[in-house]
């Protein structure tokens, strides 16, 4: 059959095809947002592949604490929450209360006439009603019908159940109880949708005071009568005044990318702590604290191979009255084994045992035992340890490796008696000029020396370990830093660890325990590469995550125990001139200083 003939046939009315066959069906907005299917059951709804379950609160305690609903809001799980509030006429409430008070008074009088023992629950109810009547009559309170519904989501029934259990635990710990909207899940889902429709109509009568406690968006205040100013609360512009020594421990962790203002923040804390009489010790890998040290007349020790300042790794701490000298000596030898493991590039189990024995013999050669007076001893040096090794069998390899630190350029730092004093209120150990490969062991030696001094005298101190990832690179260094952080509270010490990359810090098995043993944390601007690690480590919400990604210089999140606030670091002009780390500002200050000197 020819094509033209076909055209002729379909042009006739008899064979004319309906236009709808060729029309494209219009896709509406409902088709885009609607789920592929909806399945209703007695206790949940299945929307496509998602499971949905609605609950209502049916019982409240007598007292409600402020912001009791905030933990539910801050749960890291998707949910819809609806709150319905309907005012009730005061006259009607007063009429009902008058009737109820009369009934209770009659019952109380009847119990008294019969000689029955007092009923505290009945008396409390009577007092509450009388108090409410007084407040309503003087317009101090109003009554409302209040409904609260929660809809949770999950991919599986197990996930839905886990969210339900978490929700129940949070609320029931406050004597607040929920029930699923059985056989009314559709009405519950609609009530939690943004229609403004309450199709469940399950409400509780509440007065103004109780109702105000439900407001979920509350910003914490960290203001106290003691402590120092850390910054301004970005939520409500209140001052964040806090004493880190008032918590269960005074340790702190600071994580921020370069240029976000972390050094500025810690310098401000140091300056303000010094004003309150707190001693501060800093391990400074980049010599950033030298200017601050000079400004407050502190002690600054530039530690390097050619430096005149030396620290002897074999120094012993003086035992306190409550410490056993034998334990102190044993602990010092164990720590020295860890240091030598870093210095010698690792040890085999046999070498580890030999080193332990050689260290004990080195101290004995100097007549240092558990019975010695540690304040009167002369500590051995690295070459004394080398001599002991030379007289032991099978130590040729160890002697060669130790020789690097007793002869030549390394001997200037590792084989000298200590000549630094830590009597100043502010002491800084700068290690910028130390060779990069020697920095981890230099930080370890300095940290051991600081710990020796801290143990000798009980005093309120702050120890700042900047760029802590250097010492965290080695397992023994990380272990020692964790030990200091864990035991710091006993010696009235607060350890502050600072690092740029939280990923490097958390790569150590001691990273998480150090954070756990720190009651204070300060997170400032984070890089996109490390933000997920920060979110998982500190249980950040998505809003807090984006806040850290977009934070300006000097802004971040301040954690103190269970509280957290968005913070902005502020300083006076005089403080800014002392603590600034901006190269441009530092150069201007130095130029101005030179002009004044001329």
**Residue 54: phi, psi to the nearest 5?**
-110, 140
Judge whether 518 and 252 are in contact, CB under 8 Å: yes
The CATH number corresponding to 313-417 among 1.10.1330, 3.40.50, 1.10.8, 3.40.1350 equals: 1.10.8
Predicted pLDDT of residue 10: 46
Q: Which SS3 state, helix, strand or coil, does residue 2 take?
A: coil
The CATH number corresponding to 244-311+418-571 among 3.40.50.720, 3.30.930.10, 3.40.50.300, 3.40.50.280 equals: 3.40.50.300
Asked whether the predicted pLDDT for residue 3 surpasses 60, the reply is no
Of 252, 202, 210, which is closest to residue 227 (Cα–Cα)?
Answer: 252
Q: Where are the domains of the chain?
A: 244-311+418-571, 313-417
CA atoms within 13 A on the CB side of 538: 34
Q: How far apart are CA 304 and CA 31, in angstroms?
A: 71
Q: Do domains 244-311+418-571 and 313-417 have the same CATH topology?
A: no
* Predicted confidence band of residue 425 (pLDDT cuts 50, 70, 90): very high
Q: Which SS3 state, helix, strand or coil, does residue 452 take?
A: helix
Q: How far apart are CA 369 and CA 284, in angstroms?
A: 34
Asked whether the predicted pLDDT for residue 20 surpasses 70, the reply is no
Judge whether 496 and 254 are in contact, CB under 8 Å: yes
Report pLDDT digits (tens) over 125-180. 778 788 878 887 787 888 889 999 999 999 999 999 999 999 999 999 889 999 99
Predicted pLDDT of residue 464: 93
| Sheet strand arrangement including 239-242 | 239-242, 228-233, 563-568, 555-560, 520-524, 252-255, 493-499, 461-465, 279-284, 426-430, 299-302
Mean pLDDT computed over 560-584 = 83
Report pLDDT digits (tens) over 271-294. 999 999 999 999 988 888 988 898
Mean model confidence pLDDT for the chain = 84
Two structure tokens written together for 96: 């009902």
N-term to C-term CA, the chain: 111
Pairing verdict, β 461-465 and 279-284: parallel
Q: How far apart are CA 260 and CA 554, in angstroms?
A: 6
More confident residue, 368 or 9: 368
Angle at the Cα of 466 (from 486 to 548), degrees rounded to 5? 95
Angle between helical axes of 120-137 and 90-113 (0-180°, round to 10)? 150
Asked whether the predicted pLDDT for residue 1 surpasses 50, the reply is no
Helices (H), 317-438: 325-343, 349-365, 382-390, 396-403, 411-414
Which residues in 161-178 are b (16+ Cβ under 10 Å) and which e? eebbeebeebbeeeebeb
Two structure tokens written together for 538: 């500190």
* Predicted confidence band of residue 238 (pLDDT cuts 50, 70, 90): confident
Predicted pLDDT of residue 422: 86
What does the DSSP 8-state code read for residue 74? T
Of 587, 558, 582, which is closest to residue 242 (Cα–Cα)?
Answer: 558
Q: Would you tell me how many other CB atoms lie within 10 Å of the CB of residue 554? A: 19
Q: How far apart are CA 559 and CA 520, in angstroms?
A: 5
Asked whether the predicted pLDDT for residue 19 surpasses 60, the reply is no
Report pLDDT digits (tens) over 521-557. 999 998 888 888 888 888 888 888 888 988 888 899 9
Report pLDDT digits (tens) over 393-424. 878 888 888 888 888 678 878 888 888 888 89
Residues whose CB falls within 8 Å of the CB of residue 557, separated by 6 or more in sequence, listed in order: 522, 523, 540, 544, 547, 548, 564, 565, 566, 567
Judge whether 398 and 354 are in contact, CB under 8 Å: yes
């Amino acid at each position: 059959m020819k094509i033209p003939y076909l055209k002729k046939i379909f042009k006739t009315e008899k064979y004319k095809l309906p236009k709808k066959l060729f029309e494209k069906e219009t896709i509406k907005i409902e088709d885009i947002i609607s789920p592929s299917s909806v399945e209703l059951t007695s206790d949940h709804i299945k929307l496509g592949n998602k499971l949905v379950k609605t609950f209502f609160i049916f019982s409240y305690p007598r007292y409600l604490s402020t912001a009791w609903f905030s933990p539910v809001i801050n749960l890291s799980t998707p949910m819809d929450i609806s709150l319905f509030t309907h005012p009730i006429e005061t006259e009607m409430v007063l009429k009902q209360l008058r009737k109820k008070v009369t009934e209770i008074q009659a019952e109380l009088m009847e119990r008294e006439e019969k000689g029955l023992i007092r009923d505290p629950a009945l008396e409390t109810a009577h007092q509450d009603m009388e108090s409410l009547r007084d407040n309503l009559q003087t317009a101090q309170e109003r009554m409302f019908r209040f409904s609260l519904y929660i809809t949770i989501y999950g991919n599986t029934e197990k996930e839905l159940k886990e969210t339900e259990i978490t929700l129940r635990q949070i609320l029931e710990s406050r004597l607040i109880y929920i029930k699923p909207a059985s056989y009314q899940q559709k009405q519950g889902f609609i009530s939690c949708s943004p229609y403004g429709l309450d199709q469940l109509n399950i409400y509780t009568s509440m007065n103004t005071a109780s109702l105000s406690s439900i407001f979920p968006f509350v910003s914490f205040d960290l203001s106290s009568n003691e402590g120092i100013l850390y910054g301004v609360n970005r939520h409500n512009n209140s001052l964040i005044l806090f004493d880190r020594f008032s918590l269960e421990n005074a340790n702190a962790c600071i994580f921020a990318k370069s240029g976000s203002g972390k050094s500025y923040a810690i310098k401000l804390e140091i300056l303000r702590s010094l004003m309150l009489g707190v001693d501060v010790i800093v391990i400074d890998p980049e010599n950033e604290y030298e200017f601050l040290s000079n400004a407050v007349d502190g002690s600054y020790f530039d530690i390097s191979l050619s430096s005149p300042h030396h620290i002897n790794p074999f120094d012993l701490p003086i035992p306190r009255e409550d410490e056993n000298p034998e334990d102190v000596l044993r602990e010092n030898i164990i720590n020295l084994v860890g240091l030598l493991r870093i210095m010698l590039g690792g040890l085999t189990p046999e070498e580890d045992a030999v080193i332990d024995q050689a260290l004990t013999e080195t101290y004995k050669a100097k007549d240092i035992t558990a019975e010695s007076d540690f304040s009167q001893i002369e500590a051995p040096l690295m070459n004394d340890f080398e001599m002991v090794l030379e007289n032991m069998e099978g130590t040729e390899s160890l002697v060669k490796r130790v020789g690097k630190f007793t002869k030549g350029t390394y001997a200037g730092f590792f084989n000298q008696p200590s000549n630094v004093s830590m009597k100043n209120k502010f002491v800084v150990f700068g290690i910028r000029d130390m060779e990069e490969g020697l920095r981890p062991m230099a930080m370890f030696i300095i940290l051991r020396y600081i710990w020796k001094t801290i143990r000798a005298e009980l005093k309120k101190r702050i120890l700042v370990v900047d760029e802590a990832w250097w010492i965290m690179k080695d397992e023994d260094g990380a272990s020692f830093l964790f030990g200091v952080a864990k035991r710091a509270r006993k010696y009235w010490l607060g350890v502050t660890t600072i690092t740029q990359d939280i990923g490097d810090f958390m790569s150590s098995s001691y990273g998480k325990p150090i954070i756990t043993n720190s009651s204070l944390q300060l997170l400032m601007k984070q890089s996109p590469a490390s933000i997920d690690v920060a979110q998982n480590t500190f249980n950040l919400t998505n809003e807090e995550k984006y806040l850290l990604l977009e934070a300006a210089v000097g802004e971040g999140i301040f954690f103190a125990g269970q509280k957290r606030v968005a913070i902005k670091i502020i300083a006076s002009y005089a403080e800014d001139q002392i603590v600034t780390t901006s190269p441009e500002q530092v150069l201007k200050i130095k130029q101005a200083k030179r002009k004044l000197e001329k």
